[in-house]
Structure 1
Amino acid sequence: MPDDAVLAPGFIDIQVNGGGGVMLNDSLTVEGIATICAAHARFGTRFLLPTLISAGRADIARAIAATRDAIAQGVPGVLGLHIEGPFINPERNGAHPLANLLRPETSDIDLLASLGPTGTTLVTLAPECVPSGFIRALVDSGVRVCAGHSNATAEAMARAHGEGLSGVTHLFNAMSQLGSREPGLVGAAMSDLGLAAGIIADGHHVAWPSFQAAFRAIGPERMMLVTDAMATIGASRDAFELFGETIHVSEGRLVNAQGRLAGAHLDMNAAILNAHRHGGATLAEALMMASASPAAYLGLSGSHGRIAPGRKAIFSVLRIAAGALS
């Protein structure tokens, strides 16, 4: 192995919307999931949760079925499914179409939990947009729940945490911010609730001083690097269609025609190096946030996220000088 290389556990990304020219929302098939996983494996992400952006119930069911089949067929890398929305706050919808947002119904609990023990299901929702007991019912059904695309107060976050909410999706983005008298969702994430937090380390979604402050407050054990990647990763084209709108790469950012951010043009290789070079993390801490920390959050510490006897023998090699993964 070259002198400038570091052997690391295979990286884990819990928020991957697309890759290899494919968006999960547009390709709810085993083939679509396999394409996304293969695209990200080129950049060191050996395990991931394909992520469904707010969609109707029929598409949620199709995504769950495709994930179940992908796992059964041994598609390398797929751990389960991240269902982001549709129970989010329309004031914080970001790139999620308002027409796709839904009011939760009791039957949605069975739908969201229907992957069962086959794989991990993660649901992102706005705590203020679901009824009391909804989060608890999901958690009791084996689903992990994160807050995101939300205007939740710190008090609402504390109640949601009491029901079993355990994490925050893309910290700082599309959520209530930290204020002097109302800590908001960001403040709750950095408080003593012990929540895990995904964060996009591309320098566009979160300014580096904000990243550094959150990193110091939360620490590498609970902070997780996520890419929020779209179809452009591992693809030859630098543009794609998202809900009828053209999204393109501009100066390293994914934007629509109005210049608004729409996901990230980021791979885990770059996220790790960015967190180390700009985010205040040592290299070991940056690697932890892409491996051991998400493994722990997903309940996979016994098999993933570390190089040790009995763990998955799937590695990434990080070339420090070149900034390349293999």
Structure 2
Amino acid sequence: MFYSLHLASFGKKISTLRKQNKITQLMICKQTGINIDTIRRIEQGLVLPKLDTLLLLSSAYKVDLLEIFLEYCFNEPLKNIYTQLDPIMSTIDAEEIVTFCDESIALINSSIDTSNLLLPAERDQLLYLLEGIKAYTDNNQVERSIDLFLKGLRCTQSLLSFDKLSELCFSEIELRLLYLIAANYLDLNKTDESIAILLHLLSMPDSTLSSKLRIKAHGLLSYNFFAIGDYKQSLHYADKGIELTRKAQRTYYAHTLLARKAVALLKLGQEGYEENMKLCIALLQFEGHTHLVEHYRQVSKERYHISI
């Protein structure tokens, strides 16, 4: 994701390695049979080295150049923005979310002229994703938000059809866009459409769908079924999500799943709802999310008459 070519940095790196080993470009030429001009141009970042060239040069430079080259094939600023999305979206502070989106969009736009992305569409997808989150958070423009997410998907999925999702393959960022569309469909009372997308996400193999997104999909399905009064299914998906967090040995999104389980148990007239809500609050306190503790306590009391 966000593949790019940092040829100048790669060339500088291997030039330094060669000099540290006290090897000249001429010596490498004689050892590998690769033209000395090609070696010089690679070290100057002027040419994209072929796979077989990297493999041959590895023995001469005495290091795995293919592995090093891969380190210079990611656009770190874009990758960092993407990886910060989950932490920033866990807050209930709309101003903080909008500020993050504005700053990220400005950073991406300022680097467009100098960006050396192999797939510029990835950059555009991230921009649409950020604009969509901002539209929803800042002005509650749900339909505009969905439209932006769809535009992001169609950067690389021109034949996108929700009736034929099983016929398509999706990248990590495309899957994130699908999830966000499913989440926003709830505000438009398109529960069936939302559930269909989420079930498709969960039908994907573990190698395709990240554990984080799989866990969140279970949580959103639990919310969907709760919204239409199917509390048994809501409980089912909350339990499945909690099971996934335990298998992954992580607390990611566990507080949301525990809260969903608590209110489903309450609606079903079953015991254990208070214990699960207490676990939710305790987990938030343990993780230092003090701003969410009071929010969950207030919602639990006002909506469900659960006092924690």
Specify which structure has the higher proportion of strand. 1
Normalised to the residue count of structure 1, the TM-score between the two structures is 0.30
Which is greater in Rg?
Answer: 2
- Higher relative contact order by CA 8 Å / sep ≥ 6: 1 or 2? 1
